[in-house]
């Protein structure tokens, strides 16, 4: 069981790295740095020799080789492939230890396979926005499920420890921990989680449609923005285009997406902030002391990074951080909801 816990912990860290690399790849416009999949211009690595470069460009004459973009894409694929192998190992090791198929390892294995398919479709469908957004959500979901599984394994390990191996501090915490929490608080948590998920999906839609800088002013947008809203185009799939790189929507549609994301950010700030406050108020009842503070800290950091994206005109490091903190915010809130659900009467 110790090996499984270590492997899951390593996979959590690896997933965080893959999320960072994925955001960096997308934000450097390297999503089609290699126009084929899983290789790059027909090679297993970025071609460098002159004859290989000539062959690569002969294979894909419409997309000349840009080495920096190709390497961004391939490094992301290498680490994503390693993560896939790690999750496959989690599935197999979990089955061997428990002699049965369990939910979370199976779900993780199925999700990483689907995530690989989304990575392929991202390239073969030339950055189709729905697939790009789904790929981002898939990465966030992997991180969240891995962390929940790691927490479950820790709970199982704690239950198997002999009494003399448990510290007095742990025993004291267990003695004061309640048997149940308010069902209303648990239901509120799932509602707030839904709001956060919708906001993250909207952020993914904003990025996939190149709308991150459609509004370059604060607090809302350029003058006359309310007369330029176009929701029907903004949330249309725009099927049938041969290439979606750099977007296919009008400026008005991109502004609509961007403004929707901004208003969603305010709603998310209020909803998650209220929930974190309720958790902190009821920390004696829920047994949670650090998680509400972590949730509030991630929320404020994420909102600040979003504002700075506009203020500083989408600097690369800030935009990557905005993506990464969103993943951790989702992970933290989901873990809280799972713990609350477990303690319901």
What does each C-alpha distance from 56 to 66, 71, 75, 107 come to in angstroms? 11, 14, 18, 38
For residue 102, what is the DSSP state? -
Q: Same structural domain for residues 148 and 220?
A: no
Please tell me the distance from the alpha carbon of residue 5 to that of residue 253, in angstroms, as a whole number.
Answer: 46
Would you say residue 206 lies in a domain? yes
Residues 51 and 129 in one domain: yes
Q: Say yes or no: 33 and 121 in one domain.
A: yes
**Which tens digit of pLDDT belongs to each residue from 108-138?**
999 999 999 999 999 999 999 999 999 999 9
pLDDT (0 to 100) of residue 161: 67
Considering the domain boundaries, does residue 171 fall inside one?
Answer: no
301 CB-contact burial (10 Å; exposed 0-12 / middle 13-18 / buried 19+): middle
- pTM, 2 dp: 0.92
Q: How far is CA 233 from CA 228, 238, 256, in A?
A: 12, 8, 9
Q: Where does a domain end: 159, 192, 207? A: 159
Q: Which of 73, 164, 233, 245 is catalytic?
A: 73
Q: Which domain holds residue 345?
A: 180-345
- Answer yes or no: is 175 within a domain: no
Is 166 within the bounds of a domain?
Answer: no
Task: Give the C-alpha distances (Å, rounded to integers) separating 244 from 10, 61, 206, 216, 294.
Answer: 35, 18, 13, 22, 37
Q: Indicate the pLDDT class of residue 180, thresholds 50, 70 and 90.
A: low
Same domain, 115 and 205: no
Please tell me whether residues 86 and 6 are part of one structural domain.
yes
Q: Residue 68: what pLDDT?
A: 96
Residue 236 has pLDDT above 90, yes or no: yes
Q: Is the pLDDT of residue 345 over 90?
A: no
Q: Rounded to an integer, what distance in angstroms lies between the CA atom of residue 107 and that of residue 114?
A: 10
**pLDDT at residue 274 tops 60:** yes
In terms of domains, do 198 and 153 share one? Answer: no
* Residues across the chain: 345
- Asked whether residue 169 is domain-assigned, the answer is no
Half-sphere exposure of 256 (CA within 13 A, CB side): 15
Catalytic (active site) residue 73: yes
* Pair (211, 141) in one structural domain: no
Chain mean pLDDT for the chain:
92
Q: Note whether 134 and 217 are same-domain residues.
A: no
Judge whether 250 lies within some domain: yes
CA distance 309 to 313: 6
Is a pLDDT exceeding 50 seen at residue 173? no
| Residue 268, domain member (yes or no) | yes
- Give the confidence band of 98 by pLDDT, cuts at 50, 70, 90: confident
Split into its structural domains, the chain has a count of 2
Give the residue-averaged pLDDT of 81-106.
89
Last residue of a domain, one of 129, 159, 189: 159
Beta bridge partners of 188: none
One domain, residues 202 and 296: yes
Over range 174-196, report the average pLDDT: 80
Q: Does residue 152 belong to any structural domain of this protein?
A: yes
127 with 253, same domain: the answer is no
């Amino acid at each position: 069981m110790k090996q499984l816990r270590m492997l899951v912990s390593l996979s959590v860290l690896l997933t965080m790295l893959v999320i960072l690399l994925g955001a960096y790849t997308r934000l450097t416009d390297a999503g089609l740095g290699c126009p084929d999949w899983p290789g790059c211009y027909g090679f297993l690595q970025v071609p460098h020799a002159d004859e290989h470069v000539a062959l690569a460009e002969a294979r894909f004459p419409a997309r000349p080789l840009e080495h920096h973009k190709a390497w961004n894409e391939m490094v992301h694929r290498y680490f994503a492939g390693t993560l896939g192998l790690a999750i496959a190992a989690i599935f197999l090791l979990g089955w061997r230890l428990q002699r049965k198929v369990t939910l979370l390892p199976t779900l993780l294995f199925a999700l990483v396979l689907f995530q690989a398919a989304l990575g392929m479709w991202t390239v073969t469908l030339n950055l189709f926005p729905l697939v790009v957004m789904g790929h981002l959500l898939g990465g966030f979901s992997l991180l969240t499920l891995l962390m929940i599984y790691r927490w479950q394994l820790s709970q199982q390990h704690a239950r198997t420890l002999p009494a003399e191996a448990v510290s007095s501090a742990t025993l004291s915490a267990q003695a004061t921990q309640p048997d149940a929490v308010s069902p209303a608080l648990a239901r509120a948590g799932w509602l707030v989680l839904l709001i956060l998920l919708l906001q993250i999906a909207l952020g993914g839609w904003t990025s996939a449609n190149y709308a991150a800088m459609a509004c370059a002013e604060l607090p809302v947008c350029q003058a006359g923005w309310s007369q330029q809203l176009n929701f029907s185009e903004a949330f249309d799939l725009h099927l049938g285009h041969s290439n979606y790189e750099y977007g296919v929507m009008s400026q008005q549609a991109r502004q609509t997406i961007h403004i929707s994301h901004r208003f969603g950010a305010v709603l998310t700030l209020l909803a998650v902030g209220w929930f974190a406050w309720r958790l902190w108020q009821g920390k004696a009842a829920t047994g949670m002391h650090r998680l509400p503070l972590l949730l509030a800290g991630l929320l404020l950091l994420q909102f600040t990074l979003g504002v700075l994206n506009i203020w500083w005109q989408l600097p690369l490091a800030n935009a990557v951080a905005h993506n990464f903190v969103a993943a951790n915010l989702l992970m933290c809130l989901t873990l809280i909801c799972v713990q609350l659900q477990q303690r319901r009467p």
